[in-house]
């Protein structure tokens, strides 16, 4: 797998019975298909937990939502202690450029979730913005905030 702009961690890898590579998903507590996007997801989730203090118990992968009558999935969602969605994270493969189309995708998800933070990452480039619903604006942050500094 490709080198990412995220801290390395001791990934648990194995092969499925049909020989396909799998990686342990710490949030779903199971092995999942090892795709380039999943490689990014697992590194990013471990970075949030191991380096930025995000509680594993308040995060979930592949969170289903309904958008315009269609089933969609948020890649990762962070919840508050009261299980209100706080952050949506969207991942792309490392060779996928982060474009307006990617921001439009996560923005549509946020029409349903109404979170305070949106993050988009391809494992190389990471973008985080904080929503300001009172002023109907958003602000791109210089870095991904630690859990303890989330407002």
* Domain locations along the chain: 13-137
Pick the CATH number of 13-137 from 3.90.1570.30, 3.40.50.720, 3.90.470.10, 2.120.10.30: 3.90.1570.30
The C-alpha atoms of residue 57 and residue 60 are separated, in whole angstroms, by 8
**For residues 33-39, average pLDDT:** 96
Q: Which residues contact 32 (CB under 8 A, 6 or more apart)?
A: 22, 23, 25, 38
The C-alpha atoms of residue 99 and residue 76 are separated, in whole angstroms, by 19
pLDDT in tens, 52-70: 999 999 999 999 888 888 8
What does the pLDDT read at residue 54? 97
**For residues 74-86, average pLDDT:** 95
Cβ 9 vs Cβ 19: under 8 Å: no
CA terminus-to-terminus distance, the chain: 35
Question: 94: which 2 tokens?
Answer: 């490392």
61: enclosing H helix or E strand: strand 59-67
Instruction: Say yes or no to pLDDT of 1 above 90.
Output: no
What does the pLDDT read at residue 2? 82
What does the pLDDT read at residue 66? 86
- For a pLDDT cut of 90, what percent of the chain falls above it? 87
Q: Which residues contact 51 (CB under 8 A, 6 or more apart)?
A: 7
Instruction: Say yes or no to pLDDT of 45 above 90.
Output: yes
State the average pLDDT for the chain.
Answer: 94
What does the pLDDT read at residue 82? 93
pLDDT in tens, 82-126: 999 999 999 999 999 999 999 999 999 998 899 999 999 999 999
């Amino acid at each position: 797998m490709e080198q990412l702009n995220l801290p390395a961690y001791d990934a648990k890898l194995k092969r499925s019975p049909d020989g396909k590579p799998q990686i342990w998903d710490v949030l779903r507590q199971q092995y999942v298909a090892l795709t380039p996007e999943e490689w990014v997801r697992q590194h990013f989730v471990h970075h949030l937990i191991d380096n930025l203090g995000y509680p594993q118990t308040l995060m979930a992968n592949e969170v289903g939502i309904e958008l315009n009558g269609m089933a969609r999935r948020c890649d990762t969602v962070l919840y508050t202690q009261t299980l209100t969605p706080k952050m949506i994270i969207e991942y792309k493969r490392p060779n996928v450029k982060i474009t307006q189309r990617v921001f439009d995708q996560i923005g549509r998800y946020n029409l349903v979730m109404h979170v305070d933070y949106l993050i988009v990452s391809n494992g190389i480039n990471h973008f985080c913005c904080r929503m300001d619903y009172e002023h109907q604006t958003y602000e791109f942050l210089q870095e991904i905030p630690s859990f303890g500094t989330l407002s």
